[in-house]
């Protein structure tokens, strides 16, 4: 049974930082790509980024490039999303996902499993 359990969400000020964690079970992080999506209030779901399983290549959406960092710790079975230089428009529910194969597609239609979501609020 595949599970992705997220933690670390909360409130941050503009310009601040948060780190989201995604602990996985039912597969190893060197087997399937792990990505992050988000959905802001009243907005469509959008991809944030992804890390491939075998070579660790990381991809980012233009909206977060240079501010967010995706990483993983295979031994701890945990993927991370570091959110830096936060803006109010980053306010959203963030979802950790497991894709169908080892490489990143960035397509929600190829997501096999979703985390429960972590609420991130950026406000002063």
Task: Quick: pLDDT tens for 68-99.
Answer: 999 999 999 999 999 999 999 999 999 999 99
Whether pLDDT at 4 is above 90: yes
Whether pLDDT at 40 is above 90: yes
Q: How far apart are CA 84 and CA 66, in angstroms?
A: 9
Task: Annotate 81-114 with b (16+ C-beta within 10 A) or e (fewer).
Answer: bebeebeeebbbbbbbbbbeeeebbbeeeebebe
In the chain, pLDDT over 90 holds for what percent of residues? Answer: 96
Q: How far apart are CA 24 and CA 74, in angstroms?
A: 10
Task: Report helix, strand or coil for 58.
Answer: strand
* Beta pairing partners, 68: 83
Mean pLDDT, the chain, rounded, equals 96
């Amino acid at each position: 049974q595949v599970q992705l359990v997220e933690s670390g969400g909360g409130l941050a000020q503009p310009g601040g930082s948060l780190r989201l964690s995604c602990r996985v079970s039912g597969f190893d992080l060197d087997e399937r790509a792990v990505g992050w999506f988000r959905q802001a209030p009243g907005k469509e779901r959008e991809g944030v980024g992804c890390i491939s399983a075998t070579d660790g290549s990381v991809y980012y959406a233009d909206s977060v490039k240079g501010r967010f960092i995706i990483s993983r710790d295979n031994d701890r079975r945990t993927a991370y999303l570091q959110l830096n230089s936060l803006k109010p428009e980053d306010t959203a529910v963030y979802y950790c996902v497991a894709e169908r194969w080892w490489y990143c597609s960035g397509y929600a239609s190829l997501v096999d499993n979703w985390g429960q979501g972590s609420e991130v609020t950026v406000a002063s």
